[in-house]
Amino acid sequence: MIAVSAPVADPTRVRSAELTDPAVFTAHLREVLAPLRERFADGGTRHTEGDRVAAVEELRDGHTDEVARVRRFQAALFDLGVAWPSGPLDHGGLELSPRHDTVLDEVIDELDLPSREALFVGLNIVAPAVLRHGTEQLQAATLPALFRGDLVGCQLFSEPGAGSDLAGVNARAVRDGDDWVISGQKVWTSMGHLADVGEALVRTDRNVPKHAGLTMFLVDMHAPGVTVRPIRQMTGGAAFNEVFLDGVRVPDSCRIGGVGEGWKVASTSLGSERSLMSGVAGPLTPYVLERLVALVRRLEPEATAGTQAQVARTVAAVTAMRAAASLGPATWSHRLEPVCGSVLKMLMARAADEICRLALAVLGERAVVDTGDPDTFAWAEFVLGVPALHIAGGTDEIQLNVIAQRGLGLPRPRPAAS
């Protein structure tokens, strides 16, 4: 049973009307986080772990120690009262805007403090679902713990036979008194082997339309019956996992939302994930862009007309992505606002493609052959990882359909004549 609680930070230490101004909040963060540099920045591996640039999360030797270190860093943020700027006061937040969450990520990067990538799923996918749909009891038990790093979360959505067609999941949950018994298999679970809790989308009713028969649960990843197996990626890393649920008992108190409301809960999680993928906490981090700029400048004497054109396309794609990511909800049209996460996700994927093409145009075979030269083969990992960005958070094809049909009101395509 999940029974973790965490002390809620005293927000009165940092909460004031002035902090609503992002510029003031930035200055405040620089002041309160500066002392953490001595404890965390010097031992960090984000910028010093070797000559590598990654598009998706990767785990290397020593990652267990690094994740433990990131959890300590997250606890320090929580104790300072700044771990969750947009969160509610009752759970350690500051009740500021989502823009303030972005400011926190920007200042963390600026001060060379640890990347919170290993905590991304728990903070940005699991937590929004619990906050919006969970009971007060579940919120109190999990939200402060997630944002203090006491719990690491993962996402148990995709299955071998249900990826793009997520509503077709077959993992099932059967009610047994005050518990539910869950059985099935999940796949592509980021950080599953490090997680303490998993947000599991399962089928509780097979006699209704598939979207209506789903329910969401928060599963204890250490419970009997949970087996996690790493999946080796072509990049060499193993951040993804397959998860087997064999008669796992989950208390009804760990249900997120109502029975049969799993699709609505999943939409909250996926919307949050897609919206954040184009920001500084997403795959195209400031570090990736810094490395790209340095690469182009260093090899500028070798530039051709084709390379220069690709530079222009890349700048345009990244600028569009960043501009769209900075828009507030009220800025989008009333039709596009509900699908803005899909738009942002597509802009991120397109920008990643352009960065990949530019790195290959500049480096040529040096991007895929390890000659020992710095800042060359390092990009191989990025190039190999970019295809995954067209799948993570929902495939491009699904996102384009969402934008076209739900955002623009276009008709569904007619089936091809037989």
Which CATH number is 310's domain given?
1.20.140.10
Q: Are residues 362 and 402 in the same domain?
A: yes
Say what the pLDDT of residue 5 is: 56
Band the pLDDT of 394: cuts 50, 70, 90. confident
Q: Are residues 193 and 234 in the same domain?
A: yes
Residue 339 has pLDDT above 60, yes or no: yes
Q: How much of the chain exceeds pLDDT 70, in percent? A: 91
Q: How far is CA 340 from the centre of its chain?
A: 16
Q: Are residues 252 and 161 in the same domain?
A: yes
Q: Are residues 295 and 401 in the same domain?
A: yes
Q: Domain boundary at 92, 115, 138, which?
A: 115
Q: Are residues 283 and 237 in the same domain?
A: no
3-state DSSP assignment of residue 252: helix
Region 134-159 average pLDDT: 97
Both tokens of residue 62? Answer: 């020593």
Which stretches does DSSP call E strand in 255-311? Answer: 255-256
Higher-confidence residue of 303 and 161: namely: 161
- pTM score of the predicted model: 0.85
Say what the pLDDT of residue 48 is: 45
In a domain, 150, yes or no: no
Region 128-150 average pLDDT: 97
Region 204-212 average pLDDT: 95
Task: Give the range among 49-53, 117-121, 202-206, 230-234 with minimum mean pLDDT.
Answer: 49-53
Q: What is the pLDDT of residues 17-31, one digit of tens each?
A: 679 999 999 999 999
Residue 251 has pLDDT above 60, yes or no: yes
Task: Give the range among 152-156, 265-269, 333-337, 414-418 with minimum mean pLDDT.
Answer: 414-418
In a domain, 145, yes or no: no
Give kind and range of the element (H or E) at residue 320: helix 305-325
Q: Domain boundary at 213, 233, 260, which?
A: 260
CA 85/CA 63 separation, integer angstroms: 27
Residue 353 has pLDDT above 80, yes or no: yes
In a domain, 82, yes or no: yes
Say what the pLDDT of residue 47 is: 46
Q: Are residues 163 and 210 in the same domain?
A: yes
Q: Are residues 203 and 293 in the same domain?
A: no
Q: Domain boundary at 200, 235, 260, which?
A: 260
Q: How much of the chain exceeds pLDDT 90, in percent? A: 56
Higher-confidence residue of 222 and 162: namely: 222
Range(s) of the domain holding residue 21 = 11-115
CA 221/CA 199 separation, integer angstroms: 10
In a domain, 142, yes or no: no
In a domain, 413, yes or no: no
Quickly count: other Cβ atoms within 10 Å of residue 153's Cβ.
Answer: 28
Higher-confidence residue of 154 and 418: namely: 154
Which stretches does DSSP call E strand in 204-336? Answer: 214-220, 226-231, 240-251, 255-256
Q: Are residues 302 and 382 in the same domain?
A: yes
Q: Are residues 82 and 165 in the same domain?
A: no
Region 400-418 average pLDDT: 85
Residue 238 has pLDDT above 90, yes or no: no
Band the pLDDT of 254: cuts 50, 70, 90. very high
Say what the pLDDT of residue 279 is: 78
Total number of domains constituting the chain: 3
Residue 44 has pLDDT above 50, yes or no: no
Does residue 273 carry a catalytic annotation? yes
Residue 386 has pLDDT above 50, yes or no: yes
Region 291-304 average pLDDT: 84
Say what the pLDDT of residue 205 is: 96
Say what the pLDDT of residue 52 is: 75
Which CATH number is 178's domain given?
2.40.110.10
Of residues 411, 395, 293, 406, the one with CA closest to residue 345: 395
Region 332-343 average pLDDT: 88
In a domain, 103, yes or no: yes
Q: What is the pLDDT of residues 83-93, one digit of tens each?
A: 999 999 999 99
Q: Are residues 239 and 284 in the same domain?
A: no
Q: Are residues 88 and 163 in the same domain?
A: no
User: Which range has the top average pLDDT, 1-15, 195-209, 404-418?
Assistant: 195-209
In a domain, 122, yes or no: no
Q: Are residues 290 and 248 in the same domain?
A: no
CA 343/CA 410 separation, integer angstroms: 15
Non-local (6+) Cβ contacts of 367 within 8 A are 359, 360, 376, 377, 379, 380, 383
The catalytically annotated residue of 273, 302, 337, 381 is: 273
In a domain, 271, yes or no: no
DSSP letter assigned to residue 236 = S
Region 95-124 average pLDDT: 92
